[in-house]
Structure formats: structure tokens, C-alpha cells
């Protein structure tokens, strides 16, 4: 397991906040602003965890999730969404291996707990 988290969010302010929090806790971040960019970054960095917004331009989080699972069936992906976990899109994604569905907003404690559960922090020298 490595320490890389791929954060996929089209709201640049949220990316900045999440990135700052996670880096302060010793995690390495890669970011993407849409699903298409997320799939390409996933191929290049092979992150331990993907935290992805469900509703994004270009390619939404659900379609990006499907493409990521085709690349690596063991990929760990968390969907952050404004939809209920009982929404059909979320139910389908859960059947396809989505590890968690989180309703917006994603809290700081939950963000750190996810990172700790699925990655290893960088060793500070």
C-alpha cells in the first residue's frame, strides 16, 4: 500500500481545503478536476485511494469509477455526493465495488479516517 490519494473534485476551493488537511497529516495527494482527468491520473499514479465527487463536468464520478474499476478491479474508490446513498446510481456503484458513499459535505474527521484506513502516511525525515 502506498500513500497516494487521488482527490477528484471540480470545486477548486474544496480541493485546496482537502489537500491542505491531508498533507498536514502526512498524505501525498494527486488531484483531478473531472472524471476524465481522474482516469488518466489513476493510470499514472496507481493511488491507494480515490476520493471522488459524483457530479462533475466532462465525465461524472460514476462513469469515471466504472473506468477505474476496469483498469484495476481492486481500486478503492469513495464517492462523495449530494445524492442519498439509496439513489439508484449509488446503489449500482456499490454493487460494482464502490467502498463507501459519503453525503456532502465531507467532514475533516471522516476525510482523515478514510485516508488512514486506505493509505500509509509518508515517513517524515
Q: Output the pLDDT for position 125.
A: 42
**pLDDT tens track, the chain, 125 positions:** 467 999 999 999 999 999 999 999 889 999 999 999 999 999 999 999 999 999 888 899 999 999 999 999 999 999 998 777 778 888 888 889 899 888 888 888 988 998 898 886 555 44
Given a contact cutoff of 8 angstroms between Cβ atoms, the answer to whether 77 and 98 are in contact is yes
User: Which CA distances in Å does 114 have to 36, 49, 51, 87, 121?
Assistant: 23, 9, 9, 22, 12
Q: Output the pLDDT for position 121.
A: 58
Amino acid at each position: 500500500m502506498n500513500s497516494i490519494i487521488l482527490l477528484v473534485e471540480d470545486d477548486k476551493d474544496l480541493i485546496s481545503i482537502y489537500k491542505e488537511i491531508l498533507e498536514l497529516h502526512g498524505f501525498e495527494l494527486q488531484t483531478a478536476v473531472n472524471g476524465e482527468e481522474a482516469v488518466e491520473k489513476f493510470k499514472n499514479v496507481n493511488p491507494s485511494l480515490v476520493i471522488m465527487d459524483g457530479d462533475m463536468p466532462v465525465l461524472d464520478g460514476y462513469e469515471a469509477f466504472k473506468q477505474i474499476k476496469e483498469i484495476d478491479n481492486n481500486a478503492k474508490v469513495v464517492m462523495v455526493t449530494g445524492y442519498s446513498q439509496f439513489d439508484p446510481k449509488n446503489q449500482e456503484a456499490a454493487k460494482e465495488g464502490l467502498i463507501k458513499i459519503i453525503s456532502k459535505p465531507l467532514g475533516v474527521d471522516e476525510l482523515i479516517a478514510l485516508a488512514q484506513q486506505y493509505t500509509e502516511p509518508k515517513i517524515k525525515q
